[in-house]
Each structure stands twice: as structure tokens, then as C-alpha cells.
Amino acid sequence: MKTRPGRRPRIAIHAPMTSSEPVARLLTPELIDPNLRSRAAGRSGFEDEYPFTSRWFEADGHVQHYIDEGQGPVLLMVHGNPTWSFAWRRLVRDLSRDHRVIAIDHLGCGFSEKPQDRNVYTLDGHIQRLSALVRLLNLQQVTLFGHDWGGAIGMGCAGRMSDRFRRFVLMNTGAFLSLAIPFRIALCRIPLLGILGDRGFNLFARAALTMAVEKPLTPAARAGFIAPYDSWANRVAVHEFVQDIPLNPAHRSYQTLTEVDQSLSKFAKHPMQLIWGMKDWCFTPKNFLNEFRRRFPDAQTLELPQAGHYVFEDASDQVIQQARTFLQHNSID
């Protein structure tokens, strides 16, 4: 795979470490498992939707995929479940004209590795690996874009590296303790039933193709969203994200989400844009948008009354326009 003119070459380098940081490095293509490279190169049915150059890094022995497009102020885009960096494709195409746009695939998602050890799929693990990429690329003055679980993961990273983050664009997400869990999500947490549905029949990822949108997805978009989750083994993260929702203090990720929750106050005076699909039945306006507004009373808000959870699909033009307006009005010197 050739490097495009003007792109940063892919080199293998190690990040500075502290005792709590995972061992991490950027990887050249020849260091990537051929099967992983092959999957990333395939893109059958959505080639035109996702034309970006694949890049990889390794953290604690696990290989993750990301894209890094354009030049300029840094925009870091963090997806949720059951999506991957594909979800940001329209924003990447537009905003990379005058920004450097980086979108990660969490471990187990997209074109990243999908290890079968459930213990790696914790909120803290995702935050640590995202933080490793931020350090590896030495990202500064970052604008975070977060959706769904990407809000908690992204804000968790920002809380631990607050000197590197300047602006926030959050869409249909959460980053604080909440007991609000929809019945449809709770069903996926039932022992045996949940794992059979999520991993055996791919019900969670398939249901999102219709339940997360108000407008029908195009065939290319459907192909792109579902492509990484084509087998029992490849659906491990989809299932574990659902299991990792912390609803009580005994849960493995409760303390981590508490930390994320408490760190939000660090950014009370930072520019923040909230973009919300108001028909979202999961991250509802009542339970999540209103809580963000309470915590960030100076945040700008764009309510999209006809959009659902995948707000970037239902109202992509409005999302891009508002993001551009926000970035221009809160420019980084």
C-alpha cells in the first residue's frame, strides 16, 4: 500500500512510557497480519464510501486500526457500539480538507484485531489504548468527536490527558453514571440469550441498521456498518460493550466510569458542541442531552428532531455544517 503524496509515512516507533501506560508502537504494513490487511483492503460493497488509507498501531500486544486524513488542527473521532470508524466517513471526507482527522477502530471493532479474551474489552482498556494512540502521534490541541460509547472512552482519555484537549463535539452519547438502560439493550445482557443473540445471530449489529436510524440506510452504508461483524468470533466486542455497561458499584467498569464522570468538570469552560438526534431511544434527550446541558451550561446545542441515534446518517449535512461552524467560531490559534 503506497503512501499518498503529502501523507505522513508509517513508521514503527515506541511511545514514552510511565508504569501505568501500555507498551505501544505504530506499525508499518509489513508488520500487520496478512489476514488483517486483507480484511481492511476488501471493503466489498462500500469501497467508495470508505476510501481511506488504513493504518495500525499496537498497544499491549493488540493491533488496532485507524485512519489519519488531511492536515491542520487535529480532530479525533471516537465511535461507539456496534459501529466503527466507518460511521465518521462523511465528516472525515469533508473536514479533512482543512483539518487532520483521525478516527480509531476500538479493539474488536472495524479492522482492528478481535481477541477472544473478554477481559480486554473494558472501559479502562479502551481508554488506555486510545490514550496510547494520542501519545504515539503526539496529538496536541485536540478536538474530540464522540458518539455512543465514544463519549465515555473519548472523555476518559481527555480526562487523563487534559492538557492535550481543547474542544468537544459530542453526539448522542454519555460520559457519566446513569441507570437509564433501554429494555432492548437490557435483553442483550441476559446470560445465554444475550450471547446467542449478539454473537450467534448478530442481532445487535443487524438491529442497529434499522433501529438506530430514522431514514433507511443505503445498501453501501448497510454493507459498511455490518462488514466487520461477520462471524461469532468477530462479534466479541459487540457483545462485550453491552456487558460492560456499569449499573452498580460491583461492576468491573463502574470505578472507571466514575473517574470519567468526575473528570468532566475539568472542561466546564472549554468550547463544546452538542449535536443530538432527538428520536434516539437509547441516549435519549431526557436522560443524556439534558444532563450534558446541566453540566455544560455554556455548550452550544443543535437538536435534530427527525434524526435518530445514528445522527450522522439521518442528518449528515446538518451535522457537518454545524461542526464546521463550531470549529470556525472556536478556532485554535
Which residues are designated catalytic? 148, 280, 309
Determine contact, residues 274/302, Cβ cutoff 8 Å.
yes
Integer Cα distance of 42 and 36 in angstroms: 10
Which three three-digit cell numbers place residue 206? 443487524
For 129, residues 6+ apart whose C-beta sits below 8 A from its C-beta are 22, 24, 59, 60, 62, 64, 106, 107
Q: Which residues of 265-299 are buried (b: 16+ CB within 10 A; e: fewer)?
A: eebeebbbbbbbbbbbebbbbeebbebbeebbeeb
| Cell reading at 203 | 442481532
Q: Are 105 and 84 in contact (CB under 8 A)?
A: yes
56: which DSSP letter? E
DSSP element (H, E) containing 68: strand 62-69
Measured CA to CA in angstroms, residue 265 lies from 152, 158, 166 at distances of: 14, 11, 14
Please report, for residues 38, 205, 241, the alpha-carbon distance to residue 223 in angstroms, rounded to integers and kept in the order given. 17, 11, 21
Cα–Cα distance measured from residue 298 to residue 28, given in angstroms and rounded to the nearest whole number: 43
Q: Please identify which residue in the block is written with the cell numbers 476488501.
A: 42
